[in-house]
């Protein structure tokens, strides 16, 4: 299979490499001068770290495999502190490197500890889930969670490269794979409508890594994110569009204590954002209907509990897009046309949520 290289521009440019058998490129991404390589991976999946550790060891690097808890349980200050201690015990210097292997939570954590150890060491991301490939591992945004909310502590730290080996997707559980589709679909609504057309053409195929359009969907979504983060690394403006559906989505994750998949929460959040766009007079009902239709066609949820609104509202007030007391929402002004809605009246938010909780 051919290899696709998607460049991410900016102050520290790098490539996202998509294909099969791309892990052989890892030693060259680590570069000269690196002695110790810390491979951070989920503790329940040591087998996904082996194909990464092998080429690195054969290239002469000292490899330290560091397992962390699965999923969002890894993204805590306690786990990060444990990794920093491990780095110290293994004598990692500023010229050494971290490799994050796994899903989005693992790559978020690996990027964060790399950004903060000795004020920044090299990191290479090896995402092994759809969500991580098309979103979390690309863009240099790293972070951990706190009891108050998701990703409230973090840093912008671009990787030296991202290696997306499509063969790893075959072993991803179906529900997890479908969850990752939410971020792909988001890319269609905010920037590349061809993504939506491809899914509508074969929704059942979109649910599997063997689908007719799988590779094109992955590459298109990575390109969307590469274009955005290359122009705005630090989320000073344009990059905020990537948060479409995430204001309510992150709040749902917090209410569910991170037991709901990120993509499932974002899918519901996109319906909320679409309804908010419609009720504020920015889009018509047809685009809201299309949002629900596409999400439903691949098996993603589009509704949430009515009684959860007060708790969700509290968590939304701590969203990282807010500025002081002013709340900001990413909305649609049309298909692939993104706008901002600042300080909407409470009754508008309640009306949009009522549509989600019907």
Quick check: is 290 catalytic? no
Task: Determine which one of 78, 89, 119, 346 is catalytic.
Answer: 119
225 assigned to active site? yes
Per annotation, catalytic residue among 186, 221, 250, 315? 250
Active site (annotated) includes residue 213:
no
Q: 């810390």: which residue's tokens?
A: 38
List the binding residues.
70-75, 104-108, 128-129, 141, 150, 183, 246, 262
Among the options 225, 261, 292, 328, which is catalytic?
Answer: 225
Known binding-site residue numbers for NAD(+):
70-75, 104-108, 128-129, 141, 150
Q: Which residue out of 41, 151, 183, 278 is catalytically annotated?
A: 183
Judge whether 322 counts as a catalytic residue: no
Q: Which of 25, 235, 253, 264 is catalytic?
A: 235
Question: 216 catalytic, yes or no?
Answer: no
DSSP 193-211: THHHHHHHH-HHHHTSTTS
**Annotation marks residue 141 as catalytic:** yes
Is 157 a catalytic site residue? no
**Where does residue 95 rank: exposed (0-12), middle (13-18), buried (19+ CB within 10 A)?**
middle
Contacts of 39 (CB under 8 A, 6+ apart): 49, 52, 53, 56, 63, 64, 65, 66, 99, 101
What number of residues does the chain have?
Answer: 358
Active site residue 119: yes
Please say if 321 is a catalytic residue.
Answer: no
Closest CA to 53 of 43, 66, 68, 44: 66
Annotated catalytic residue within 207, 246, 254, 315:
246
- Single out the catalytic residue among 41, 122, 141, 186: 141
Active-site entry in 25, 151, 207, 243:
243
Burial of 351 (0-12, 13-18, 19+ CB in 10 A): middle
Strands 141-146 and 62-68: unpaired
Q: Is 26 helix (H, G, I), strand (E, B) or coil?
A: helix
Helix, strand, coil percent values for the chain (each to nearest 5): 50, 20, 30
The secondary element (H helix, E strand) that includes residue 231 is helix 214-231
Annotated binding site for Zn(2+): 183, 246, 262
Catalytic annotation, residues: 119, 141, 183, 225, 235, 239, 243, 246, 250, 262
């Amino acid at each position: 299979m051919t290899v696709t290289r998607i460049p991410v521009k900016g102050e520290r440019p790098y490539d996202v490499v998509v294909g099969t058998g791309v892990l052989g490129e890892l030693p060259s991404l680590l570069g000269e001068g690196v002695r110790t390589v810390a491979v951070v991976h989920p503790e329940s999946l040591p087998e996904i770290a082996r194909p990464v550790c092998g080429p690195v060891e054969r290239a002469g690097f000292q490899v330290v495999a560091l397992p962390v808890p699965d999923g969002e349980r890894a993204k805590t200050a306690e786990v990060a502190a444990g990794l920093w201690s491990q780095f110290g015990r293994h004598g990692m210097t500023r010229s050494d490197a971290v490799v994050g292997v796994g899903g989005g939570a693992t790559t978020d954590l690996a990027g964060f500890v790399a950004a903060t150890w000795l004020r920044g060491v090299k990191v290479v991301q090896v995402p092994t889930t759809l969500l991580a490939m098309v979103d979390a591992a690309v863009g240099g945004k790293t972070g951990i969670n706190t009891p108050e909310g998701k990703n409230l502590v973090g840093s912008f730290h671009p990787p030296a490269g991202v290696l997306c080996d499509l063969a790893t997707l075959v072993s991803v559980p179906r529900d997890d794979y479908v969850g990752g589709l939410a971020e792909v679909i988001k890319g269609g609504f905010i920037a590349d409508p061809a993504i939506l057309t491809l899914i509508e053409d074969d929704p059942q195929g979109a649910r599997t890594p063997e689908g007719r359009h799988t590779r094109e969907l992955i590459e298109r979504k990575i390109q969307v994110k590469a274009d955005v983060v290359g122009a705005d690394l630090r989320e000073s403006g344009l990059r905020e569009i990537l948060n479409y559906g995430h204001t309510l989505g992150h709040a749902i994750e917090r209410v569910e204590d991170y037991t709901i998949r990120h993509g499932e929460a974002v899918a519901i959040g996109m319906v909320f954002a679409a309804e908010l766009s419609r009720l504020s007079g920015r889009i018509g009902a047809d685009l809201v209907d299309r949002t629900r239709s596409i999400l439903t066609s691949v098996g993603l949820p589009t509704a949430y509990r009515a009684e959860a609104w007060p708790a969700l509202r509290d968590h939304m007030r701590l969203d990282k897009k807010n500025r002081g007391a002013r709340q900001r929402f990413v909305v649609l002004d049309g298909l692939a046309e993104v706008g901002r809605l600042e300080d909407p009246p409470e009754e508008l938010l309640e009306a949009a949520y009522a549509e989600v909780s019907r």
